């Protein structure tokens, strides 16, 4: 393992932001990770996965540890279910395709989400009616201080909407090394409840969709709305969809009856942040090399040489204008560093 100094992170974040790491090392096994942590006990550390859910606004004055653990295996199965373990450094979309190729159901609606497997529990990632918590069994994580491995069960992760224990109670204390998912082998619960998926399947004359059909539909939808980070720097959805109390929403809805919403419980509704941003006039708007994507207002983009500070400034202007217009605060989903 070679620790490199003054290392460019431009190719290690999907926004394509030029920022430097004071020191950088890639680890390829749990033993390597343990060694690096033991040998650099007093160094400030920054853990880096696929670089897909962060906005770098400055150089990282720390030892950046890139988690590049690879491998996946079936650890248990019965007639109906299979328990699959993936190492944290596996690319999420490649892992999803692996499960579909093996006819394992549960992850197909989350096809083409950028990032690595190890970060999926941190965010409780989700798309088109499914979330990681629906299939997540447990993960193993190394304590940064003691190098001990701890197993976190689904319940212990305290999953919420784009939330988990790793963003709150134990933030910056653990590095996830592997994740186990419980997937179906038969009697798959095909979820096509989102209108976009239904329309895409109908367009392709699919009446009895397979896992692969749903995955292909999701990929087509995402590719039509979301830019490829290799071609246009971005981090997917920059903002969370705000969840409001029904009592608060009803007052806002009276002023804006055309506002879209989804019921999430008896007392709460979710409002699409993309709709709010588009109505506030930001869709397709460009500020130098930073801007809001022309096809999906949830996505902030780097047209080439934007700095993290410039993209952050756009995000704050979006938040400010949406709040002034609707009285709704939209939170960043992306971690701002």
Q: Which residues are catalytic?
A: 162, 237, 333
Query: Considering only CA atoms, which of 254, 255, 248 is closest in space to residue 269?
Result: 248
Report the run of H or E that residue 126 belongs to, with start and end. strand 126-127
290-292, strands of its sheet edge to edge: 233-234, 300-302, 290-292, 286-287
Whole-number Å distance between alpha carbons of 155 and 134: 11
Report the run of H or E that residue 180 belongs to, with start and end. strand 174-184
Whole-number Å distance between alpha carbons of 229 and 138: 30
Report the run of H or E that residue 89 belongs to, with start and end. none
Angle between helices 211-225 and 195-203 (to 10 degrees): 110
């Amino acid at each position: 393992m070679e620790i490199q100094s003054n290392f460019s992170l431009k190719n290690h974040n999907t926004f394509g932001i030029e920022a430097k790491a004071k020191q950088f090392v890639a680890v390829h096994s749990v033993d390597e990770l343990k060694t690096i942590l033991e040998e650099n006990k007093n160094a400030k550390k920054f853990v880096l996965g696929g670089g897909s859910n962060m906005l770098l606004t400055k150089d990282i004055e720390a030892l950046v540890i890139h988690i590049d653990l690879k491998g996946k295996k079936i650890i248990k199965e019965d007639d109906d279910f299979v328990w699959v373990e993936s190492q944290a450094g596996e690319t999420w979309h490649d892992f999803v395709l692996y499960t579909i190729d093996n006819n394992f159901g549960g992850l197909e609606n989350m096809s083409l989400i950028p990032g690595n497997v190890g970060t999926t529990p941190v965010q409780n990632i989700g798309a088109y009616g499914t979330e990681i918590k629906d299939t997540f069994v447990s993960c193993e994580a190394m304590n940064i201080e003691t190098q001990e491995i701890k197993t976190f069960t689904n319940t212990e992760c305290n999953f919420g909407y784009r939330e988990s224990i790793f963003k709150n109670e134990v933030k910056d204390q653990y590095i996830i090394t592997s994740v186990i998912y419980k997937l179906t082998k038969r009697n798959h619960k095909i979820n096509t409840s989102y209108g976009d998926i239904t329309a895409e399947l109908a367009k392709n004359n699919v009446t009895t969709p397979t896992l692969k059909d749903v995955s292909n539909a999701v990929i087509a939808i995402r590719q039509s709305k979301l830019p490829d980070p290799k071609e246009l720097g971005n981090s997917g959805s920059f903002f969370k969809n705000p969840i409001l109390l029904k009592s608060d929403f009803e007052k806002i809805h009276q002023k804006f009856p055309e506002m879209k919403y989804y019921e999430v419980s008896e007392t709460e509704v979710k409002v699409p942040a993309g709709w709010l941003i588009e109505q506030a006039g930001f869709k397709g708007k460009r500020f130098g090399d930073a801007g809001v994507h022309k096809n999906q207002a949830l996505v902030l983009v780097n047209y080439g040489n934007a700095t993290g500070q410039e993209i952050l400034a756009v995000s704050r202007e979006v938040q400010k204008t949406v709040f002034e217009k609707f009285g709704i605060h939209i939170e960043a989903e992306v971690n701002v560093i």
